[in-house]
Chain A
Amino acid sequence: MTELKLPSIDYAALSPILIMLGVALLGVLVEAFVPRRHRHLTQLSLALVAVLGALAMVVFNAGERLVTIGGAIAVDGPTLFLQGAILVLAAMALLLIGERSVERGGAFVAHAAVTAESADDRRQAEGSNGATEVYPLTTFAIGGMLIFVAANDLLTMFIALEVFSLPLYLLCALARRRRLLSQEAAMKYFLLGAYASAFFLFGVALVYGFTAGMPGRAAGVDFATVHAAVKDSPASPVLLFAGMALLAIGLLFKAAAAPFHVWTPDVYQGAPTPVTAFMAACTKVAAFGALLRVFHVAFADAAWDFTPILGAVAVLTMLVGAVLAVTQTDIKRLLAYSSIANAGYLLVGVLAPTGEGVAGTMFYLAAYGFSVLAAFAVVTLVRDADGEATHLSRWAGLGRRSPFYAGVFTFILLAFAGIPLTSGFMSKFAVFGPALESGQAWLVVAGVLTSMVLAFPYLRVVVMMWLSEPGDTTPTVAVPGGLTATALMIGVVATLVLGVLPAPLLDLATDAAVFVR
């Protein structure tokens, strides 16, 4: 009779994750037991309280550096920084998701199973209250992301990947209007996401095979074992390299790097805009957090041989994002391509094998998240009778109709373009500097050149908004409710403050840029 040995669990360190998942379960119960008319308020407050509570616990844990629950979760500087970033950005996204005054009933469909374009569908679009299942789904997704950036073995990472992906697939299908587009987006995202997960899982299997046979050490997929195996496993290195490549592909898919970016424009366009904002900000943080951890912890001694290949991916990503952004005619697709290009710049930071590279990448993730959320917040406001007016031609002359919001959007676009004194400039600076110091000059040159190209579509929107006459079809800008206004203001102020006074957050990121193994 062998005694079952339980791993020690540090509940305090895990508390942000536990809070999110616990409240998500609670949210499911709320759906079942709370009367319909109270659900929206209950769910929204519950989700916000959970996010703020989890954030408080992240702050409380600030000094922790440990590996817990049998080596499955690592709570260290990058974990806490990225969890904090995810939670702050998720809080803003929740504000957008909870908005119901811009459009009657909110941005979500009331009954997801109604046949698209039918009479029922039109009726629900007119003002039935949106489904409140979105809150537990979002909370689950946030919980999954928190695990994803903390995962210290490949299986936990895979499970976290699924935990945050599945709710996102569903959320994409829940747009109130243009249901076909939304359902198509969800379907595409699901199929391709499952496909990418398969790559990831196959990679895990190969890496597991590689770790077998080390003297005095069992095979496993926790990062400590993988790291040890990279040094002295007797197995064929082909397993390691093929496994590493497949893992990278799975993660690069979520990060929207070319050529694994193909889903991004369709999904960003079809998903309800608050969900798009959530994905653009939080999924990016989670995906790059995982990439950082895999390359800096598990494969630290092997990965840097492959910088040229991932560098080529980064350059291709920047190029695809920047060049294709030029020809877009839909603002959501334009932002999607911009997000692809930004994935390329983030990869430059990931490929700098120093603490400064990690710090720069984390700073970039946070800063970009704020700006992109604010950008999508404005997109939710520009509407006509049929919902959001996302075609770019409709934005012509917006500066005359509504100078304040056009001004805010201009500022955000300038930040995306990397104009100095905005966070966009600082974040590019923060990733390009370390990359150059570690000898990746070609990546920096490609980055600077493509960001010059990318500035052009942004400026085109600016010129369109300010320097053309409003036509009959120019939509009005809805007066935002308190929730959207709050999210928008947080995003804009953060974009400005991180551009003018970036030092505190950069210091925080630098102090946090040490992984535990």
Chain B
Amino acid sequence: MDEILTYAQAEPASAVAYAAAGGLLSSVWLLVAIPLASAAILLLLGRRADRWGHWLGVAAIGVAFVLGLGFLLQLRGLENKSVELSLWDFITVGDLRVDFGLLFDPLAAVFVLLITGVGFLIHLYAVEYMAHDEGRRRFFAYFNLFVAAMLLLVLGNNYVMLYFGWEGVGLASYLLISFWYGRPSAATAGKKAFLMNRVGDAGLAIGIFIMFATLGTTQYDEVFNGVGGLAGGTVLVLGLLLLLGACGKSGQFPLQAWLPDAMEGPTPVSALIHAATMVTAGVYLIARSNPIFSANTTLQLVVVSVGAVTLLMGCLIGAAKDDIKRVLAWSTVSQIGYMFLGVGLGGGAYALAIIHLLAHGFFKANMFLGAGSVMHGMNDQVDIRRFGGLSKHMKVTWITFMMGWLAIIGIPPLSGYFSKEPIIASAFERDDWTAWLFGGAALLGAGLTAFYMTRLFVLTFHGPKRWTEDIAHPHESPKLMTIPLVLLAIGSVLAGGLMAWNDGLASWLTPVLDAEAGGEAHGVLSHTVITILSLLVTVAGAGLAWSLFRNGTATSPQPAGVLVTAARRNLYTDAFNEAVFEKPGIFLTRALVFLDNRGVDGLVNGLAAAVGGGSGRLRRLQTGFVRSYATSILTGALLVVAAFLAVQAGWLA
């Protein structure tokens, strides 16, 4: 086993200690309470709130953002930047103690600002986007509910609280994906999201139970201080289970399939939940649990591999899709792959992953809302082969989308450059050949990202018109939709640079993400070389896409080679899931139903028929079911007694 499991020395990490909240920070619970109260009001008042309900929803998030900003400023002045607010003892039985408490520290603070800030803009946008939908009030209620759950997720001070938020966002996203339940595809997508998330949730739940069993606690500080004393194998299992949870929520390999299907929900949902916030919960989980993940190098290797596989997979599939929201969805999968790569690398890369997460929140939300704006003007068309030439008709959408596009492919000085390029560089900073493997994957991913995003941008806004006949003049969206776009575009341009400036955010996060591994790069390539290389592949990818698609494309599917066909079919992962999970599941259910209803009965009848023959007798035997129930009980009883005796005789021991 030693070849496989190489454990890092349990370093005597400085003990984690949280201060008690005081002053303004003692009201940090308001962050969760306000959106929750708003959701409750919207749901309880029913139709009476139809006229003003959406504004209440927007205001709740706005107030939460302002509060979050206030708390952040308060936090800056403190010695110990991790303050804890214990609301009440949730469970106290024997050794078990779970606190219903909140933790506001630099990591939580940046998440709060992202969720409420970007969330506020998306809420604002949705006021107009959902204006013609009679379920708008209900929509805002679910939306507020989601924000409350997401804030609970990032603000909890133990894993059980995190799990509460985790389940809450899952539930809200399920409701929001199936919001347009009239569409069968929306209902199916909702189910798929729910089921795949359950797989991940099961991992997280079992992981939390293991913490209980081995450490006797789920409080962050006690777990992190205690993890050094655990056996390496336990840490590995614990970490893998947490990783499974993270993969489910964040749409990472092998649980990625639900995320692109989730695009059936209204576009603001895609922007808020499936681009900016909820899908990054997995990254939050790993970053928050960094003492666990840093304690085991095998674990880190697994996280890095998941990230690398997913980022390439997302790029490949994204390049073959024609639905504007699905391209963006696969792009999200791929960008979160970069974040997983970052948190897996550990050390200083934790902060890099968080920076990329925040920057991504801005530019991806920007592009999703831009896509919504395009659809709004094009009669809900989503096929990019049916766009083209929109730059003349939708100026604001065009310019803002361009900012998002330049940001995601990493053109300096936009934010993607400052957030993605350092991750690529740190992927090369490994001691062995894996530096080339992961660095190469990250670099290749950058080129592919440039390719498919350019393809998306060019096909949508440039080249000849390929519109369907029913569209004469695409119109720009109303102000309420374009203002959030402009603000998000400004964020896409500036956020990365501001966060990277003077290592500002990285040092802000240092108390949480112990970045002792900093220092100068000592990778296989110098940082300058990597910067030049990544810019080169980006320009090459973008240039290739530009030259291929500048004159538009065919409006119907074209025959394609093996790779493109595979990518169009999501690299056959859906077929794999169906064959490996769905079919046996269906079979198991059918078999159980059969056994429960007819199996035992059939056995008896079959025997009777074989012995006695004659259909008359068979029919008479089929009249009652009690006998077959009794047979089932007898069979079970014989088995149980036999098993008891076998144990007693030592046969099973």
Contact = CB atoms under 8 A, between A and B. Distances in A.
A469 B492 CA distance: 41
Nearest to B186: A467
Interface in B589-644: 589, 592-593, 596, 625-626, 629-630, 632-633, 635-637, 639-641, 643-644
Interface in B174-208: 174, 178, 181, 187, 190, 194-195, 198-199, 201-202, 205-206
A326 B589 contact: yes
Nearest to B645: A241
Contact of A510 (B89, B94, B202, B644): B94
Given A421-B164, A448-B205, A507-B93, A191 B633 contact: no
Given A259-B632, A437-B213, A452-B202, A245 B596 contact: no
A241 B198 CA distance: 40
B581 interface: no
A359 B93 contact: yes
A81 interface: no
A238 B593 contact: no
User: Interface on chain A toward B: helix, strand, loop, or mixed SS?
Assistant: helix
Contacts of A238: 645, 648
Nearest to B629: A262
Interface in B57-89: 88-89
A11 interface: no
Contact of A503 (B89, B164, B199, B202): B89
Contacts of A432: 209
A502 B89 CA distance: 9
A463 B206 contact: no
A436 B640 contact: no
A199 B648 contact: no
A259 B167 CA distance: 32
Contacts of B164: 420-421
Contacts of A356: 93-94
Interface in A286-333: 305-306, 308-309, 312-313, 319-320, 323-324, 326-327
A248 interface: yes
A501 B645 contact: no
Contact of B630 (A192, A240, A420, A444): A192
A463 B209 contact: no
A309 B93 contact: no
A253 B46 CA distance: 46
Interface residues of B, number: 57
A327 B585 CA distance: 12
B635 A195 contact: no
B7 interface: no
B181 A463 contact: yes
Contacts of A479: none
B533 interface: no
Interface string A50-66: 00000000000000000
Interface residues of A, number: 70
B181 A456 contact: no
Contacts of A320: 592, 596
B91 interface: yes
A245 B640 CA distance: 6
A448 B206 contact: yes
B163 interface: yes
Nearest to A242: B641
A249 interface: yes
A506 B178 CA distance: 37
A436 B626 contact: no
Contacts of A502: 90-91
Nearest to B206: A448
Contact of B636 (A244, A259, A319, A459): A259
B536 interface: no
A509 B238 CA distance: 30
B8 interface: no
A305 B209 contact: no
B33 interface: no
A455 B96 CA distance: 26
Most B CB within 10 A of own CB, among A244, A259, A263? A259
A358 B197 CA distance: 32
Interface string A426-438: 1001101100110
A456 B195 contact: yes
A192 B88 CA distance: 48
Nearest to B630: A195
Interface in B72-131: 88-94, 96
B588 interface: yes
Contacts of B589: 323-324, 326-327
Most B CB within 10 A of own CB, among A245, A263, A266, A502? A245
Nearest to A260: B633
Contacts of B640: 245, 248-249, 309, 313
Contacts of B648: 237-238, 240-241, 305
A34 interface: no
A191 to B, nearest CB: 5
Given A237-B648, A452-B201, A501 B641 contact: no
A473 interface: no
A196 B92 CA distance: 39
A323 B178 contact: no
A445 interface: yes
A110 B88 CA distance: 52
Interface string A247-279: 011000100001110110010000000000000
Interface in A396-426: 403, 407, 414, 419-421, 426
A138 B408 CA distance: 69
Given A192-B629, A305-B653, 15 more contacts: A188-B625, A188-B629, A192-B633, A196-B633, A238-B648, A305-B647, A306-B647, A308-B652, A319-B592, A414-B171, A419-B167, A448-B202, A449-B202, A467-B178, A503-B91
Interface of A: 187-188, 191-192, 195-196, 199, 237-238, 240-242, 244-246, 248-249, 253, 258-260, 262-263, 266, 305-306, 308-309, 312-313, 319-320, 323-324, 326-327, 356, 359, 403, 407, 414, 419-421, 426, 429-430, 432-433, 436-437, 441, 444-445, 448-449, 452-453, 455-456, 459, 463, 467-468, 501-503, 506-507, 510
- 3 closest Cβ contacts across the A-B interface? A259-B636, A467-B181, A245-B644
15 contacts: A188-B625, A245-B637, A249-B640, A313-B640, A323-B588, A419-B167, A419-B171, A433-B96, A445-B206, A448-B206, A452-B198, A463-B178, A503-B93, A510-B93, A510-B94
